[in-house]
Amino acid sequence: MNPSPHALPARLSIAVAAVCLAVSAAHAQSPAPGQAPDQAPAPATLQLPPTTPQNPDNAWLAKAAALYYSSAKAGLTGFDCSIYPDWHTLFITANKGESVAEDDPRIALLKTVKITMHARMKASSTLEWILEPNPDKPLDEASNQLLDGMHQSVQQTLEGFLQFWGPFIDGSVVPDSADGLEITHTPAAHTIHTTQSGTELTEIFSSDLVLEHFNVDLNGTSIKFSPAYTPTPQGLLVNKFEAHILPAGAPPEKTQVMKVGVEYQSLNGLTIPAHLHMEVVDTGTFNFAFDGCTTNPK
């Protein structure tokens, strides 16, 4: 008997959840941009106090941020797409390369499900999973368990992806303000570091301001991101991630590696995913196609 395909999506979802938790914690603790209080014009008879010199790292951050594509600047608030998982690849990887027919009954059943993603850039994203019942062919217990397990895994994986992809695509991984950050510069690299409430964040940029490493330590759990970008007329667009996930207290050999690739489509002048490839090394692969999309501009 083939291993249950539930095992792969569950482990993949756990890896995605670990990444999301770490990135969300780091993103939440990043200092918000400062707001200067309104000042009324001083009477001519009074001498104004000396102004505090502006932190030069604020200008450096603005220069770095300007290099990257930003969905926020483009005006994208969300998008809605029909989702088509590559079930065959999932089952092959779940069964460690064993032969799985394209017309496997489990795959045929899953293909009857209508999946729609409602992605929101600054709010919670949701997933619709709709299976029209067939009174002439009621589902048995194994089929219902398969559908329930895959529903949860697809939802957790896609919503998790949107959660950790969001800060990279909207440009917020480059902070607006240097307040509360330790920023160092060398001829070879620029480093941003901050620690708050048990979360330690380190971002390392190359000498030409490309973000190469985004490392988070969340109460001992280490997530090390290596993003990659493709140039576009609107700036550098993130198209790949590699994440190394090491749970707190685990030895280095227990590090889990997740590889993510994103292909994009342009719709109404806005950039959204077209294909998503997510692999947890030595565990399995989930591929998704995004089709029939609509966008939600400002």
pLDDT digits (tens, 9 = 90+) for 209-231: 999 999 999 889 999 999 999 99
CA distance 172 to 49: 34
The Cα 181–Cα 191 span in angstroms is 10
How far is it, in rounded angstroms, from Cα 250 to Cα 252?
Answer: 7
Rounded distance between C-alpha atoms, residue 16 and residue 20, angstroms: 6
- Predicted confidence pLDDT, tens digits, the chain (298 residues): 444 555 555 656 656 666 665 556 555 555 443 334 444 444 444 555 554 457 889 999 999 999 999 999 999 999 999 999 999 999 998 777 678 898 899 999 999 999 999 999 988 999 999 998 877 788 899 999 999 999 998 998 999 899 889 999 998 899 999 999 999 999 999 999 999 888 899 999 999 999 999 999 988 999 999 999 999 999 999 999 999 999 999 999 999 999 999 999 999 999 999 999 999 888 889 999 999 999 988 7
Instruction: Count other C-beta atoms under 10 Å from residue 189's C-beta.
Output: 13
Q: What's the rounded Cα separation, in Å, for the pair 84 and 275?
A: 9
What H or E segment, with its residue span, contains residue 6?
A: none
- Determine whether 266 is exposed, middle or buried from the number of CB atoms within 10 Å of its CB (0-12, 13-18, 19+): exposed
The C-alpha atoms of residue 274 and residue 289 are separated, in whole angstroms, by 6
Contact present, 289 and 89 (Cβ < 8 Å):
no
Q: What pLDDT sits at residue 14?
A: 59
**What single letter denotes the amino acid at residue 150?**
M
Triad 38, 49, 59: Cα angle to 5°: 65
Beta strands in the chain (DSSP E): 76-85, 114-120, 126-130, 182-185, 189-196, 199-206, 211-218, 221-232, 235-246, 256-267, 270-280, 284-297
